[in-house]
Amino acid sequence: MTRTPLVAVLDYGSGNVHSAVKALTAAGADARLTKDRGLVAEADGLVVPGVGAFRAVMDALRASRGDELIGRRLAGGRPVLGICVGMQVLFELGVERGVDTEGMGEWPGVVTELDAPVLPHMGWNTVQPGEGSRLFHGLEDERFYFVHSFGVQKWVMDVQPQYRQPILTWCDYGASPFLAAVENGPLSATQFHPEKSGDAGIKLLSNWIGGLSATTL
Q: Which residues are catalytically annotated?
A: 84, 193, 195
Distance CA 100, CA 79 (A): 28
State phi, psi for 20 to the nearest 5 degrees. Answer: -65, -40
Instruction: State the chain's maximal CA–CA distance in angstroms.
Output: 54
Residue 135's closest CA among 14, 45, 3, 4?
A: 45
Distance CA 82, CA 150 (A): 15
Looking only at the bridges linking them, the beta strands covering 80-83 and 30-34 are: unpaired
Distance CA 158, CA 27 (A): 34
